[in-house]
Structure 1
Amino acid sequence: MNKDHIPIIYQDDDIIVAVKPNGLLSVPGRAPENKDCLISRIQQTRPEALTVHRLDCETSGVVVLACNKDSQRELSRQFHDRETQKRYIAVVDGLLADDEGEIDLPLIADWPNRPKQMVDFERGKPSQTRYNVISRSNDTTRLELTPITGRSHQLRVHMLSLGHAILGDRLYGCDRVIAQSPRMLLHALELGFTHPTTEQFCVYQYPAEF
């Protein structure tokens, strides 16, 4: 996906469902060189757009934005209360032994090494991820990830904790993992939520480009 192109899957008076390219921030960073981001680009044509949730800069995929405060409040509540439906596609280093499973490891910020997160059984917040293997080849595994909780870097740290870092992950991967892909192979494939006005449950998908 071209970093300069933002596909719009759906939009109306209340929501915008867009696809964030990898390498683009969801919201502006503090430094002047980090002002370019998904929300600022969307606001060029929809100035009323508001952020609801974020994807990591190196993660691509489906994002919903609100077009008014009421919609933002309701969508944010759904994310907080875990009423949304999320699925990711990832390619990881090595061959996972099991075809499916659930990772239940508490996470906390690794303060001396921010923005890294880490597993901490004493102070970490409960964090769960389900995984299903799609295919295995060339000492890599392609899998579907379903986050039950939504902690920062959750999918990246959980896969690392199994010994299978996501390919191209420059924050958590070793040199060999980083060298296998020019981008991190993690993509938000699917997002489902209840429309804040119609109250219909909507599911949007955009395929991974890897």
Structure 2
Amino acid sequence: MNPNNTEVHLGFEDEHLVIAWKPHGVLTSGNSGRTFVQAVNRCLDKASESGVLPCHRLDFGTSGWVVFGKNKSAAREMGLLFEQRSINKRYVALVHGQVPPSLNMVWPLDGKFAKTRVAMLAQGRMAGTGPVSFVHAEPITGRTHQIRRHLFDSGHGIVGDDRYGIPGERYQGKGLFLCAYGMNFDHPLTSDLKVNLVAEPSKKFRKLPFVHQSDFIQRLSLSSHR
């Protein structure tokens, strides 16, 4: 996907922050001009002289909400919220196998404490993969590739994951089935303002009948911010 042609959907904007929906297949930031940061700057006609600053990152293959600061002070304050685990981040994923109703995954990654809560939302099948589960995932900590690694370690790797997936799996190279659909936090620079964003996951999820027809997606469609 070419970020230069990326349509940017804004979920929230004020004088301090911008929250935008990153599609899969785009780098959040980096040295290349073909990044989501550049797409957001073009959308805003440059929020400041230096442009917006990402307060966190989503993997190349992950779609979802990304928070940007319009200046260094705002980015620093949001960064502190992420470090202090004061932001509730919510994901959905499509994983291999039949996941139990709930999983509480607590084991270290790279020698550091890591915890991820997972709940099964629906189950079905995909051509060439066998049984799969549509799950809700909430990372309590923020380790690198935490959700992907915890699910893989539990025997339920994410469909399309070319790093922590099943070797030769049919959907590798076609996009990771992981989406950061929701987040909420107390605005760090505006008193008493609570930011709460949700959105329906990417179209590739909703093309699957057992996902599209799930109670979770039906409820989400009523409150989506995009």
| TM-score calculated relative to the size of structure 2 | 0.79
Paired residue type of 1:65 = F
1:36 corresponds to: 34
User: Does 2:118 align with 1:131?
Assistant: yes
Query: In 1, Cα distance between the equivalents of 2:84 and 2:7?
Result: 32
Change (3 A) 1:5 1:178: farther
1:101 corresponds to: 103
Greater alpha carbon shift after TM alignment, 12-21 vs 37-46: 37-46
For 1:6-155, what aligned pairs fall within 5 Å after superposition? 6-29=8-31, 34-44=32-42, 45-48=45-48, 49-96=52-99, 98-108=100-110, 124-138=111-125, 139-155=131-147
Query: In 2, Cα distance between the equivalents of 1:173 and 1:68?
Result: 38
Q: Secondary structure at the match of 1:190?
A: strand
Query: In 2, Cα distance between the equivalents of 1:12 and 1:105?
Result: 38
Q: Secondary structure at the match of 2:196?
A: strand
Residue among 177, 188, 193 paired with 1:196: 188
Query: In 2, Cα distance between the equivalents of 1:196 and 1:162?
Result: 36
Tell me by how many angstroms 1:178 deviates.
4.5
Q: CA RMSD in A?
A: 1.8
Change (3 A) 1:12 1:130: same
Change (3 A) 1:51 1:168: same
| TM-score calculated relative to the size of structure 1 | 0.85
Query: In 1, Cα distance between the equivalents of 2:174 and 2:75?
Result: 34
Whether the 8 Å CA contact 2:23–2:64 is kept in 1: the answer is yes
Whether the 8 Å CA contact 2:54–2:66 is kept in 1: the answer is no
User: Does 2:184 align with 1:182?
Assistant: no
Query: In 1, Cα distance between the equivalents of 2:76 and 2:182?
Result: 21
Paired residue type of 1:16 = V
Q: Secondary structure at the match of 1:175?
A: coil
1:117 corresponds to: none
Paired residue type of 1:188 = A
Tell me by how many angstroms 1:125 deviates.
0.7
Change (3 A) 1:27 1:181: closer
Consecutive unaligned residues in structure 1, runs of 5 or more: 109-123
Query: In 2, Cα distance between the equivalents of 1:205 and 1:2?
Result: 25
2:199 corresponds to: 206
Whether the 8 Å CA contact 2:2–2:26 is kept in 1: the answer is no
Greater alpha carbon shift after TM alignment, 137-146 vs 66-75: 66-75
Whether the 8 Å CA contact 1:51–1:65 is kept in 2: the answer is yes
Query: In 2, Cα distance between the equivalents of 1:58 and 1:130?
Result: 21
Tell me by how many angstroms 1:2 deviates.
8.6
CA deviations over 1:163-183 (Å, ceiling 9, x no partner):
111000011112353437821
Tell me by how many angstroms 1:193 deviates.
1.7
Whether the 8 Å CA contact 1:167–1:181 is kept in 2: the answer is no
Q: Secondary structure at the match of 1:43?
A: helix
1:121 corresponds to: none
Whether the 8 Å CA contact 1:169–1:184 is kept in 2: the answer is yes
CA deviations over 1:122-157 (Å, ceiling 9, x no partner):
xx1111000010011120000000000011100000
Consecutive unaligned residues in structure 2, runs of 5 or more: 126-130, 206-226
